[in-house]
Amino acid sequence: MPELLILRRGIEPYEQCFAAMRAFTDTRNSQTQDQLWLVEHPPVFTLGLGADPAHVINAHHIPVVQTDRGGEVTYHGPGQAIAYLLFDLRRDGRRLLPRDFVYRIEQAVIDTLATYNCAGERKAGAPGIYIADGDWRGAKVAALGLKIRANGCTYHGVSLNVAMDLQPFNWINPCGYAGLATIDLQTLGVRARLDEVQDQLARALEKNLKL
């Protein structure tokens, strides 16, 4: 049995997927295979546990959902590659620290961007990946938020903007930062189908998270 099961869930309402992640994690045990879910959501704003609802400036009738992940407010919508990581950080005796787990996820995004000749970078204290050079330097291209339970099991994950309507990002303070520029690969000149980027991201995550 492979270490990681990759599942394509297609277009799925956020709350339905959120409930499925929690249900999977509630029932898994030490032998349950880790899973990577690739999904695309209809428009939705999600709030992390520490999020200030005031960072949703004007939802414009887009649903706002409270979640149990870390982080602030973000937007999910069509044209975004989302990867949810249902992992057991203690499986088979491994002791993967949350900080290392986040670092590996971020590296997978950086590696994915590199395949499209885009340079990504981390920012201290601001999880996610940002454009490292050019006219869009400092713009956020990927957001990251996780739930890690006391038993070491994780869910939620990372979203990479591929070819989106970016306007809803202007209706929030992304990740709690007023005026933070948000970008997608299409605006950077990358012409790639969403499923191609999903596959590339999945391969990069599988590589970086292999222990």
Residue range 87-99, pLDDT digits in tens: 999 887 777 899 9
pTM of the predicted protein model: 0.96
Residue 133 has pLDDT above 50, yes or no: yes
What average pLDDT does the segment 111-136 reach? 94
CATH classification at residue 198: 3.30.930.10
pLDDT for residue 1: 40
Report yes or no: 11 and 41 within 8 Å, Cβ to Cβ: yes
Q: Which domain covers residue 29, as residue numbers? A: 4-208
Average pLDDT of span 170-186: 93
153 carries an active-site annotation = no
The size of the chain, in residues, is 211
Q: State the chain's mean pLDDT as an integer.
A: 95
Q: Quick one: average pLDDT of 178-194?
A: 95
Residue reference for tokens 């990867």 = 83
- Which is more confidently placed, 176 or 161? 161
Nearest-10 crossing angle of helices 194-208, 98-115: 140
Catalytic residue among 17, 118, 153, 175: 175
Residues whose CB is less than 8 angstroms from the CB of residue 8 and which lie 6 or more positions away in sequence, other chains included: 38, 39, 198
Measure the CA–CA gap between 56 and 26, rounded to whole angstroms: 30
Q: What share of the chain is helix, strand, coil (3-state, %, to 5)?
A: 30, 30, 40
Phi, psi angles (nearest 5°) of residue 136:
-105, 25
The percent of residues in the chain predicted with pLDDT above 90, rounded, is 88
Q: What is the mean pLDDT of residues 176-185?
A: 92
Of 198 and 95, more confident: 198
Q: What is the mean pLDDT of residues 105-123?
A: 97
pLDDT tens-digit profile of 32-79? 999 999 999 999 999 999 899 999 999 999 999 999 999 999 999 999
The count of domains in the chain is: 1
- Express as a percent the part of the chain with pLDDT over 70: 99
Predicted pLDDT at 99: 93
Which pLDDT belongs to residue 182? 96
Task: Give the pLDDT band of residue 179 (cuts 50, 70, 90).
Answer: confident
Report, as an integer, the average pLDDT of 110-139: 94
Distances in whole angstroms, Cα of residue 107 to Cα of each of 1, 6, 206: 26, 19, 11
Does residue 183 come out as left (phi exceeding 0), alpha (psi in the -120 to 50 range) or beta?
beta
> What is the distance in angstroms between the CA of the first residue and the CA of the last residue of the chain?
15
Model confidence band, residue 85 (pLDDT cutoffs 50, 70, 90): very high
Whole-number Å distance between alpha carbons of 69 and 46: 9
In this predicted structure, the answer to whether residue 137 has a pLDDT above a threshold of 90 is: yes
